[in-house]
Chains A and B, each alone.
Chain A
Amino acid sequence: MSLSAEPIVSINEVTKDYHLGKVVVPALRGVTLQVHPGEFISIAGPSGSGKTTLLNLIGCVDTATSGVVRVAGKDTKQLSERKLTDLRLHTIGFIFQSFNLVSVLSVFQNVEFPLLLQKKLNASQRRERVMALLEQVGLANHAKHRPNELSGGQRQRVAVARALVTQPQIVLADEPTANLDSVTGQQIIDLMKAMNRERGTTFIFSTHDAKVMTHANAVVRLADGKVLDRVTPAEAGVALAAGGH
């Protein structure tokens, strides 16, 4: 794979502290990481190592305590809330661990929603785009259903479709398969992989699952709020196996 020189995500000496009353919980303690366009990167690490925190910082839904987070060439510290929201809308797609669909909207409307916020496409263009994606995730027949009429795997596929519908440069996924059985999880990963191949979309996803990691072209291992190393899936798989999995 050929990587262009400019990283699309560039993180430099980032720390993040949470404050629980008077106790300061350091979630990230100086993370430096570069992700280049078109990469398919897995973030691995034990529970509490800071995976979610890191993804939130990249996704501009949270702010770092110190250090620099650059996304698509922009220093997120310098952006107003308005500009950050625009960045999320146009550049980033989110897949949440717990789906987070709007319960009162249908599958179709949920997927269409970011397009409405973008206001770039007209109704028929939106329809075409959404239906094509639903076809791809195998939910074309469920377009009119409400989220609570779907299984967990189907909901996650809706969430994937919603994240991809704006054709963002970066897609962030926090344990996208954690709530799914292995077959459904595999389908989701295949879908992401296809998107990565066809459009060159950058994917950054966190996972516990060694099998899921094998699809990544690099695994960034976190421990205790720090980057341990950046390895190939094979190496990561060995390491995990050695760790007793």
Chain B
Amino acid sequence: MLQILLIAFRNLLAHRRRTLLLGGAIAGVTAVLIVLMSVTNGMKATMLESATTLMSGHVNVGGFYKVTAGQSAPVVTGYPKLIETLKKELPELDYVSQRGRGWAKLISDTSSVHVGISGIDVEGEPGFRKIIQVREGRLDDLNQPGTILIFEEQAKKLEVRVGDTMTISAPTIRGTNNTLDVRVVAIAANVGMMSSWNTFVPSKSLRDLYQLKDDTTGAVYLYLKDMKDIPAVQQRLREKLAEAGYTLMDNDPRAFWMKFEVVNRESWTGQKLDITNWEDEISFVRWVVQALSFLTGFLGFVLLVIIAVGIMNTLWIAIRERTREIGTLRAIGMQRRRVLVMFLTEALMLSLTATLTGAAFASALCLFINAQEVRAPEVVQVMLLTENWFLKVEPGSVTLAVTLITLCAMVVSLIPSFLAARMKPVTAMHHIG
């Protein structure tokens, strides 16, 4: 009935101040909620992208090679053929890369640190180039043998600059200690906590260090078009690789460097492959993501409760003021249900307009902040794995916020509306208010 809409609309107009106040509050809460979700989504997205590009694929095919039962190396042999097989079996694949894995002592003139060393073919990894921000030197120089990329934090600790030479010392698979001299060619901006334990050298240099053959690598990183496919891909890989004649380790959802002890205790020798995903390899990212999700959920809940109480309170007042009118309308033959619908319409009109306004404002704000390239505080950078805030406005989150808050407003206004509709017409009409 159009007249109900009209009454609702005109009542909102008639109480302009209250409408603006309540609508503003609802819009504000919606905006806060959406910005909050965008921050979380942005953090999740950047963290995931950085972490998966630098330290892990979405799905990894790694493994161990054992010369004797007690000595294992995180090595995959014959990787070109393996990659071929993987490409054939996985239509979900976006792109593939491979990294050598190592753990060594990095020695400068004045200091030394223990770090992870990744062997990388830098020209084959456009994603890497996007994430890493070189502050000094050139990333392209990393394809020359005997070079290294380190992070600002490490450069400070080791007191080195681009052009300086350092020595890598690592125990090899045969039990001896090998060393390799490397020249610093690039110093990159810190990438959160990962900058303390990661360095990158050309694949070739890493093989030299460990005296490995040319067709060996540490792990093949698989990047999927859609991360939702990860479990399915993992499952299928287990079957297909077994069919192709590879020996697989049992599923063990932990990072590879936690597995040496177990692998060394087992009696097998030769090559075994291990299939893991990013959550296994970089579990701290998963914890942070989960904590963020929880935090957002909690804050969202608190906001909802606050706005619910506010709406309820204001609606009580609004409905009390109109009790006489309700009585009159009931007396001239308006059904209870209609009265209820009338107030709900009013609540819906107000809250929907307000939430949509809030959503539009919040989305614009997020895009604006992104465009400004605002630097995040250092504490956040550590988690974020990037330097600037990135607010990711997801249509799903916006819809969720708008729906949730509108629904909440409706449910809350149901109570006073219901009580008003239930009143005896004569009681309502004689109400003084």
Q: Do A and B come from one complex?
A: yes
A61 touches B336 (CB 8 A): no
Partner of A102, one of B1, B329, B333: B329
What is the CB-to-nearest-CB distance from A48 to chain B, in angstroms, rounded to a whole number?
15
Check A102/B335 contact, CB under 8 A, given A113-B3, A116-B1.
Answer: no
Of B29-37, B265-273, B421-429, the one touching chain A: B421-429
> For chain A residues 54-82, which have a beta carbon within 8 Å of chain B?
56, 59, 61-63, 81-82
Bound: A103/B324 CA distance, A: 11
- B334 contacts the other chain (CB 8 A): yes
Of A87-95, A196-204, A211-219, A226-234, the one touching chain B: A87-95
- B6 contacts the other chain (CB 8 A): yes
Partner of A85, one of B325, B327, B333: B333
Question: Chain B: interface residue count, which band?
Answer: 20 to 34
Set of chain B residues within 8 Å of A61, measured between Cβ atoms: 327, 330-331, 424-426, 429
What is the CB-to-nearest-CB distance from A49 to chain B, in angstroms, rounded to a whole number?
17
- A34 contacts the other chain (CB 8 A): no
Set of chain A residues within 8 Å of B335, measured between Cβ atoms: 82, 85
Of B7-15, B106-114, B292-300, the one touching chain A: B7-15
A109 touches B6 (CB 8 A): yes
What is the CB-to-nearest-CB distance from A188 to chain B, in angstroms, rounded to a whole number?
18
What is the CB-to-nearest-CB distance from B325 to chain A, in angstroms, rounded to a whole number?
6
Set of chain A residues within 8 Å of B7, measured between Cβ atoms: 102, 104-105
A102 touches B334 (CB 8 A): no
Check A100/B324 contact, CB under 8 A, given A59-B331, A89-B332, A117-B333.
Answer: yes
Check A89/B429 contact, CB under 8 A, given A105-B10, A116-B3.
Answer: no
Bound: A105/B6 CA distance, A: 8
Set of chain A residues within 8 Å of B329, measured between Cβ atoms: 102, 113
Set of chain A residues within 8 Å of B334, measured between Cβ atoms: 85, 89, 117
- A114 contacts the other chain (CB 8 A): yes
B14 touches A102 (CB 8 A): no
A-contact 0/1 string along B398-433, CB 8 Å cutoff: 000000000000000000000000001110010000
What is the CB-to-nearest-CB distance from B79 to chain A, in angstroms, rounded to a whole number?
76
Bound: A19/B433 CA distance, A: 21
Check A86/B325 contact, CB under 8 A, given A96-B429, A109-B6.
Answer: no
Check A81/B429 contact, CB under 8 A, given A61-B331, A104-B11, A104-B14.
Answer: no
- A155 contacts the other chain (CB 8 A): no
- A162 contacts the other chain (CB 8 A): yes
What is the CB-to-nearest-CB distance from B257 to chain A, in angstroms, rounded to a whole number?
71
Set of chain B residues within 8 Å of A90, measured between Cβ atoms: 333
Partner of B332, one of A62, A63, A88, A105: A88
Bound: A74/B31 CA distance, A: 56
Chain B, Cβ-Cβ closest to A166 = B333
What is the CB-to-nearest-CB distance from B405 to chain A, in angstroms, rounded to a whole number?
26
A88 touches B333 (CB 8 A): yes
18 A-B interface contacts by CB (under 8 A): A59-B331, A61-B429, A62-B424, A63-B424, A85-B333, A88-B331, A88-B332, A96-B331, A100-B325, A100-B429, A102-B7, A104-B7, A104-B11, A104-B14, A112-B3, A113-B332, A114-B333, A117-B338
| Interface of A toward B, CB cutoff 8 Å | 56, 59, 61-63, 81-82, 85-86, 88-90, 93-94, 96, 100-105, 109, 112-114, 116-118, 162-163
Task: List 17 extra interface pairs beyond A82-B336, A85-B334, A102-B325, CB under 8 A.
Answer: A59-B331, A61-B330, A61-B425, A81-B336, A85-B333, A94-B332, A96-B328, A96-B429, A100-B324, A104-B14, A105-B6, A105-B7, A113-B3, A114-B332, A116-B1, A116-B3, A118-B333
